[in-house]
A = this chain, B = another copy of it.
Amino acid sequence: MYSYPLSSRILLAIDCIIFGFDGKDIKLLLIKRNFEPEMGKWSLMGGFLKEEEDLEAGASRILFDLTGLKDVYVEQLEVFGKVNRDPAERTVSVVFFALIQIEEHDAEAVRSHNASWISLDKRPQLIFDHEQMVMRAIEHLRYKAALHPIGFELLPEFFSIPQLQKLYEAIYNTPLDRRNFSRKLLSTGLLIDTGHKSSNSTTKKATLYKLDTVRYKEKFHAFWNFMPDSMKPV
């Protein structure tokens, strides 16, 4: 069996951008490091890839460790590999992008990691190139949410259209027209009326919908307009 004797091995890290939505703001799950290096500073949650571990498994491990959640929405975002990005040692980091339902997280796990949910516009300075990673992730969130129905990953199972609108307004940091938004969303055919109404309203109660998980996959490409529907990539 062949081997690669002359090639150098590099430390491979995994960092996770974890987004949540509290009904008002998009939040990031960040940790105040109580370990070296850079103890006391803020960073993304991360870790090293283990020798016998697939990349996605590593990301899931780290996400589970911090949030207590399995099966969250995760995708690879980008690899950061600048030679001196980590002053301690050459480290290449694979950044994962995760969307979670904020109420579902295990508060105890979060506390034990010294982590907090922080609004995007209040995020502290981060170590290394983590700020770049966050900016890349925000860009990706905006990009992807405009093309695919991923916003639902940030909402509870049952949600109202006004809630959904607040989410999109938070993502794009802009007001949207209620009537057009509602029409467009309903026209996707992705929402199922649960028959229930939101309970905590002091005024008119909103209809609660859930995501049509069957059509979700079929309609994952809802949108764009350059090519005929039939040839949109799956």
Contacts and interface: CB of A to CB of B under 8 A. Distances in A.
B82 A54 contact: yes
B224 A4 contact: no
Interface string A198-234: 0000000000000000000000001111111011111
A225 B227 contact: no
Contacts of A88: 1-4
Interface stretch (A43-51, A66-74, A156-164): A43-51
A78 interface: yes
Interface stretch (A9-17, A105-113, A114-122): A9-17
Interface stretch (A18-26, A89-97, A189-197): A89-97
A79 B55 contact: yes
A128 interface: no
Q: Report the contact-size class of chain A (Cβ under 8 Å from the partner).
A: 35 or more
A140 B76 CA distance: 14
B227 A172 contact: yes
Nearest to A234: B139
Contacts of A81: 12, 49, 54-56, 94
B146 A226 contact: yes
A37 interface: yes
Given A9-B11, A82-B54, A224 B227 contact: no
A2 B78 contact: no
6 contacts: A1-B88, A3-B89, A4-B88, A8-B50, A146-B224, A223-B224
